[in-house]
Amino acid sequence: MSDPHAPHADHSKHYIKIWIALLVLLMVSLVPAIIAQQLHLNITGIVVVTAFAVAFIKAYLVIKHFMHLTIEKKYVGFLFLTMLAFMLVFVGGVSPDVMKHEGQRWTNDAAKKVVDEGMKAEKAGGHGEPEKH
């Protein structure tokens, strides 16, 4: 593949090919969601995994071919990795409290109550009911 930063070279065709690939990937992420919706199938796992796998591939294509980050000075990439590391520290530190509602020596009764009431409302067909605190 030619260097997209070569001086005065026209790379329009290359960019259009990447755009077409991005649109095809969007369709790939939509198909399982549409099938699940139309046939009332409970394949949430497949739908979510496909959608996020496709999202990462799309993001990679945009970063590599539109932003040209892979041929930028390396410290820019390290700068972004540092920011992502900050995010991982944040999520790692907070997630046990937010994602779990009980542990060995603690329980979050308020959160458990909200989840239980929400699940009951969902089973009873109460979509869209406002949250009660």
Give the residues lining the site for other proteins (CB under 8 A).
5, 7-12, 15-16, 18-19, 22-23, 26, 29-30, 33-34, 37, 44, 47-48, 51-52, 54-55, 58-59, 62-63, 65-67, 72-73, 75-76, 79-80, 82-84, 86-87, 90-91, 94-95, 98-101, 111, 114-115, 117-119, 121-122, 126-128, 130-131
Burial 14-23 (b: 16+ CB within 10 A, else e): eeeeeeeebe
Cβ-contact 93, 61 below 8 angstroms: no
**Of residues 120, 113, 118, 119, the one with CA closest to residue 131:** 118
Which of 93/104 has CB closer to other proteins? 93
Least distance in angstroms from the C-beta of 80 to other proteins? 6
Closest to other proteins by CB, 74 or 105: 74
- Nearest-angstrom CA–CA distance, 105 and 126: 34
